[in-house]
C-alpha cells in the first residue's frame, strides 16, 4: 500500500522526516499556483487522486541519455 513518503509531492521536514508537506501545483483556470498542506510520511496514499510515485533516479538518467540536460535554476520559478 503506497504512502505519502513514496509520492513525488511529499517534502519531508529536515528536523523530522516523518512529517512534511504535500506540495502540489494547482490550476484554477486563470492562474497556476503551488498549494502546501501538512502531511506525514506514513499517511496512506492509496485513495489520493494526486499520488505520483517518485521515479527511480537511475532510470531518469538512463532516459535522458543522449539528450541535452535541462537548465534548471532552483531559485527562479517561471510561469508561462
Contact positions toward ligand SF4, by CB under 6 A? Answer: 4, 7, 9-10, 22, 24, 39, 43, 45, 48, 50-51
Query: Which is closer to ligand SF4, CB of 17 or CB of 64?
Result: 17
44 versus 56: smaller Cβ distance to ligand SF4: 44
Q: For residues 50 and 61, which CB has a smaller minimum distance to ligand SF4 in the complex?
A: 50
Beta bridge partners of 26: 33
Residue from 35, 37, 40, 36 nearest 5 by CA: 40
Please state, in angstroms and rounded to a whole number, the distance separating the CA atoms of residues 42 and 47: 14
Amino acid at each position: 500500500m503506497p504512502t505519502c513518503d513514496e509520492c513525488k509531492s511529499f517534502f519531508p521536514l529536515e528536523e523530522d522526516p516523518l512529517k512534511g508537506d504535500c506540495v502540489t501545483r494547482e490550476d484554477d483556470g486563470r492562474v497556476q499556483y503551488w498549494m502546501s498542506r501538512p502531511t506525514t510520511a506514513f499517511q496512506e496514499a492509496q485513495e489520493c487522486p494526486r499520488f505520483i510515485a517518485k521515479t527511480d533516479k537511475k532510470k531518469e538518467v538512463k532516459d535522458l541519455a543522449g539528450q541535452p540536460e535541462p537548465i534548471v535554476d532552483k531559485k527562479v520559478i517561471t510561469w508561462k
